[in-house]
Amino acid sequence: MSFPHQRPRRLRSTPAIRRLTAEFRLDPAELILPAFIREGLSEPAPIASMPGVVQHTTDTLKRAAAQAVELGVGGIMLFGVPLLRDATGSASLDPDGVLNKAIRDVRAEVGNELVVMSDVCLDEFTEHGHCGVLDSQGRVDNDATLEIYGQMAVEQARAGAHMLGPSGMMDGQVAVIRQALDEAGFQDTSIVAYAAKYASAFYGPFREAVDSQLTGDRRTYQMDAANRREALLEVELDLEEGADIIMVKPAMSYLDILADVAAMSPVPVAAYQISGEYAMIEAAAANGWIDRRRSIEESVLSIKRAGANMILTYWAAELAGWMKNR
Ligand code: PBG
């Protein structure tokens, strides 16, 4: 009689066997590179809390997009940092504003070879840093914000974005954007809905990346980390409103949410490995505390395993390069 009867270790015994039996593997086509462009720069500006990530100039953004195409990356998500901000974020509606111009420039560079996505949110454009406009008492005014989102979406679609990413967590934002797009003739522009987006401390480095003016927090509109069931409500609402793709964000502290959403969503599911997740791994690796490459690969693979069909990650290009050379 021999023990044990079952030996799962057999399938772990060589790299080739492990490769053959892997349940999940990453592909560059499912990665989306978030990228920042800052108005008025003559050189790319490093972001201290995100080593390796920069605020781009037009030139370096176009180069990054072209490189993403070469590497087989699936998409790029654009965020703009304007020179001037005001109470209503009006630079977001300017066809020549930093983000709309960046969309045009990137589309001219990549055509349809890369899915061009853009952030529909006011936080980069408002002087107070909130994702919407404020009412007379300083609260974020949901419905007044929706009106602007609709116009912003149309400008981004006109600039050439294939997909729009409303990230502001206003109630009804997907419906308003869908209607505005359809009325303007952009029936084919898709919506990647930030559906389950949590108020997270891990967005910290992003605030530096977009030079955020925010004081306080976003807890009156982004979800509470204590809630799991509520994510399904947010997703169902966005689906009803016409979301083409559903996003969960952040990713790593919310893999349970991602798994829940992946189990019920009839549309593709995206997850955003955010700035703080990037920063933590880079910082630990820089200290020699973890193996950088293995930690990056493991972290992104875990997001895929939890159910993401596509992953936004600041390592998208680097990961794609590793996959190419594998
Ligand atoms: C809002 C937005 C944020 C991020 C993406 N879109 C910031 C926030 O909600 O506070 C964060 C992304 C990251 O941390 O990498 N426009």
- Give per-residue pLDDT as tens, 239-256: 999 999 999 999 999 999
Q: How far is CA 204 from CA 130, 214, 256, 295, 315, in A?
A: 14, 11, 22, 20, 18
Ligand 1 pocket mutation pick from 81, 125, 167, 299 by most atoms within 8 angstroms of CB:
167
Degrees to nearest 5, angle at CA 115 with 133 and 35: 55
Q: Are 117 and 77 in contact (CB under 8 A)?
A: yes
> What type of residue is 286?
A
- In the chain, what's the furthest Cα-to-Cα distance? 80
pTM over 0.95: yes
pLDDT in tens, 80-126: 999 999 999 999 999 999 999 999 999 999 999 999 999 999 999 99
* DSSP code per residue over 183-198: HTT-TT-EEEEEEEEB
Distance 318 CA to ligand 1 centre (A): 21
Active site annotation includes 304: no
DSSP assigned state of 168: S
Tell me the two tokens of residue 100: 């709309």
CA of 272 to the centre of ligand 1 (A): 9
The CA-CA-CA angle for residues 262, 72, 112, to 5°, reads 90
Residue 270 is encoded by which pair of tokens? 């995206």
In sequence order, what are the residues at sequence separation of 6 or more whose Cβ sits closer than 8 angstroms to the Cβ of residue 6? none
The per-residue pLDDT for 325 is 81
Res. 326: pLDDT tops 80? no
Q: At 71, which helix (H) or strand (E)? A: helix 58-71
pLDDT, tens digit, 9 for 90 and up, residues 45-72: 999 999 999 999 999 999 999 999 999 9
Residue among 62, 101, 249, 304 flagged as catalytic: 249
Amino acid at 104: R
Give the three-state DSSP class for 229: helix
Amino acid of residue 135: D
Question: Are the CB atoms for 48 and 54 separated by under 8 Å?
Answer: no
Residue 2 predicted with pLDDT over 90: no
Confidence grade of residue 229 (pLDDT, cut at 50, 70, 90): very high
